[in-house]
Amino acid sequence: MTQNIEIEVKLPDFELDLFLPYLLTEAAEKLSHDLAAIYRDAGLSTPQWRVMVHLSYSGQVSVRDIERRVSMEKSKVSRAAARLELAGLVAKRGDPDDGRLVALGLTEAGRALMAQLLPRAIDYQRQLEATLGADLPLFHKALSRLLNKEAPE
């Protein structure tokens, strides 16, 4: 007859406050949330904002280009672009050379909107850089190391 022994499994110590995936997520969500105040009044969602930003400093661009550059699902890009077109901020044409591609570009209204929003985003970036001060280059270096690190296993 075996005894019924209650074994309390011992868990390793774990400091959530030092856990980098958690910390980074927190920081990213905070910055994105604060930034969103800039474009939300203009009726833009976050995916729409990202598309607009990309179109602001690129010329004619396909959905696939944005997908790769901003790492957004192509369906997300597609839907964001559709709404931006409805709002008159983005023009969507077929690429004359390749019938599969769509050529996205800002309309004049889109450029006018971004001419208002981008300076505010740049200003926010300046504030963040000021917050980091002299540590900024090192912070960038650290981020790019994390981004380029290959996945484990």
Partner DNA sequence: GATTTTTCGTTGCAAATGCAACGTGTTTCC
Partner DNA sequence: GGAAACACGTTGCATTTGCAACGAAAAATC
Side-chain-side CA neighbours of 46 within 13 Å: the count stands at 9
Among 25, 32, 75, 116, binds DNA (CB under 7 A): 75
Residue among 113, 96, 112 at smallest CA distance from 43 = 113
Which of the choices DNA, a second copy, none does residue 102 contact, using the CB cut-off of 5 to 8 A by kind?
DNA
Among 42, 45, 105, 107, binds DNA (CB under 7 A): 45
Among 26, 34, 73, 135, binds DNA (CB under 7 A): 73
- Yes or no: say if 104 and 58 are a contact pair by the CB < 8 Å rule: no
- Pick the closer one to DNA by CB: 61 or 114: 61
- Yes or no: say if 103 and 92 are a contact pair by the CB < 8 Å rule: yes
CB of 99 to a second copy, least distance (A): 29
Where would I find the beta strands (DSSP E) of the chain? 90-94, 102-106
Angle at 66 (CA atoms; ends 57, 50), nearest 5 degrees: 65
CB of 72 to DNA, least distance (A): 7
Quick check: 111 binds DNA (CB under 7 A)?
no
Residues that bind DNA (CB under 7 A): 45-47, 62-65, 67, 72-79, 81-82, 92, 97-102
